[in-house]
Structures are given as structure tokens and as C-alpha cells.
Amino acid sequence: MSAVNDTNFNSAVFLLTGIPGQEDVHLWISVLFCLMYVISILGNSLILFIIKTDPTVHEPMYVFLSMLAITDLGLSILTILSTLGIFLFNSREISLDAYFAQLFFIHSFSFTESSVLLLMAFDCFVAISNTLRYASILTLSRIAKMQLVFVLRGVAVIFPLPFLLKHYQYCRISVLSHCYYINQEVMKMACSDITVSSIYGLFVTISTVRLDSMLILLSYVMILKTVLSIAFHAERLRVLSTYVSHLCAILLFYTPVLGLSVIHRFMKNSSPLLPILISYVYLVFPPLMNSVVYSVKSKNTFVRG
């Protein structure tokens, strides 16, 4: 039974959409998305190849960078099939199990990427404030433990949510305005009491992305304070320029998140296309730009080595 006709119990499928009202240019949009995905996958693969093959970059910063590249690859691979399937082949149906599996993996990788950005901010702070003790503080064993803890956190906090949502009764037409999972949109279609999921979803957001962003902000306030204490202006600029790429990665990841949050809470009468476009930016642009910026930076390091 199709999702449109199934209004009395859990739908067999959801119907995904691309960009509503732009169906006549979906083919051209698919070409653009395909190009961005290819650049993202190749760029992040290049980063991993360089870090693996060059012993001179086996340092904490590049260990964190390799994990960022892995999460970006994961996000790209998870979304490429549904995105290109809709825009290129008009393949819109997705089963409940496949949909909630996508929910789990996309959020797990997103939370892991947020954690990696936090670890990279911590790495920057240690490098600038404890230069002489940097190697003794961030040993490879400690880095591995921190990465494992944050990966487990991302998996653990999102694990119950698909099971909560799967047991709801969906009594509205299950046509979604995105080509991948949006938690709030699915919950609005449920005719069951969603209080538990709403509270738990808020807890997940606060304990992951919101907490990480606050700690990153605190880290950079302390970094800026340390940089401003440097006596020479040229040296201050040199140190700040070292962290430009990481600041770009942070802004690319958190700006769309903040934008979607503002729209859902304070701009409910805005154009329905705006949150859709921002959601595409959130999933496509960070892996794309990170791959471009960091692959060039890593390649230059490799050539100099």
C-alpha cells in the first residue's frame, strides 16, 4: 500500500521530494549535486591517502583531520543515493526501515563530525597555549580514546530515536519535503503522542551539537586571548592564519544548523524553500568545502615534506 493512501496506520513507505516547484530543472540540479559529490568524495579520499602514506604528518592535527574526512565521506555516501535518485531518476519511495536506518547513520555521522570539530579546537588550544607540552598532552593513545568516546556518544544518543519514531501511528499523508531524514517533519505526521520523542530529541540536540558548539566557542575565546598576548603583530597574524581552515570548517557546519533552528522557531512564515535549501547546504557543502580546503593544505604539506 502506498504512503499516500495509508492514513490509518504506519505507512509502508515515505515519499521524498527534491525541491518543490522546481521539478522541471531537477535534471540540471542532479548534475550540480553529482559534481559536488564527486569533488567531495575524491577530495576526502585524497586527504586520507596523503595522511596514510606520509609519515611526516602522523601528528594529532592530522589524525583529527583524517577522522573529519571519514565522517564527511560517510555523510556524502549516505545522502548521494537518495539525493541523486530523486533528482535524476525520480525515485521517491523509501521504506520505513530504510528511512529510519538513514536517520540513525546520518545523525551519528553528523554528531561525530561535531565532536571532531570540538577535538580539533581543543588541539588548536593546546598547540598554542602549551606548545612545549603539546606532544606529551596529545599522545596517540589519548587521541584514540577521545575519538572512541565521542563516536560512542554519537551512536548512543541517537540509537533510541528510530525505535521511538517507528512505533508511532502516522495518520497524515507521508510526503516529505526533503530527500533525506528530517526529524521534526516526520514527527508532525504522527497522530500518536510525540511528547517523549520531542523531549528526547531536545536532549540529543543539547547534549551533542549545542554542547560542542559552546565548548568550541569557549576554546576559541581562550585561543584569541592567548594570541592577543603575543607581543609582535606579525606573529599574531601568522598564528591566526594557521587556524583559518578550521574556522571555515566550523562555520560551514554550524551556520546552517543555527539557520535551520532560527527558521523553525522564529520565521515560521518564511518561504518553505528556505529551510529546504539550507538543509541541502548543511549536508552537501561542509564535506565539499572541507575536502577542497584540507586536501590542498595536506597536499602542500606532503609536497614540502
Give the CATH number, domain containing residue 154: 1.20.1070.10
Measured torsion, CA atoms of residues 42, 48, 53, 58, in degrees rounded to the nearest 10: 150
pTM for the predicted model, two decimal places: 0.85
69, containing H or E segment:
helix 60-89
Q: Is residue 59 part of a domain?
A: yes
Number of domains in the chain: 1
Q: Is residue 52 part of a domain?
A: yes
Q: Is residue 108 part of a domain?
A: yes
Examine the pLDDT at 114 and tell me if it is beyond 60: yes
Examine the pLDDT at 71 and tell me if it is beyond 90: yes
Closest to 36 (Cα-Cα) out of 79, 99, 67: 79
Q: Is residue 148 part of a domain?
A: yes
Q: Is residue 48 part of a domain?
A: yes
Examine the pLDDT at 218 and tell me if it is beyond 90: yes
Per the prediction, the chain carries an average pLDDT of 79
Examine the pLDDT at 54 and tell me if it is beyond 60: yes
Q: Is residue 91 part of a domain?
A: yes
Examine the pLDDT at 4 and tell me if it is beyond 50: no
pLDDT at 72: 92
| Nearby residues of 208 by Cβ (< 8 Å), 6 or more positions away | 111, 114, 115, 153, 154, 157
Lowest mean pLDDT segment, chosen from 134-138, 151-155, 226-230: 226-230
Q: Is residue 270 part of a domain?
A: yes
Q: Is residue 3 part of a domain?
A: no
Answer for the pair 148, 247: CB distance below 8 angstroms, yes or no.
Answer: no
pLDDT at 305: 44
Its domain, for residue 92, covers: 13-304
Between 210 and 99, residue with greater pLDDT? 210
pLDDT at 180: 59
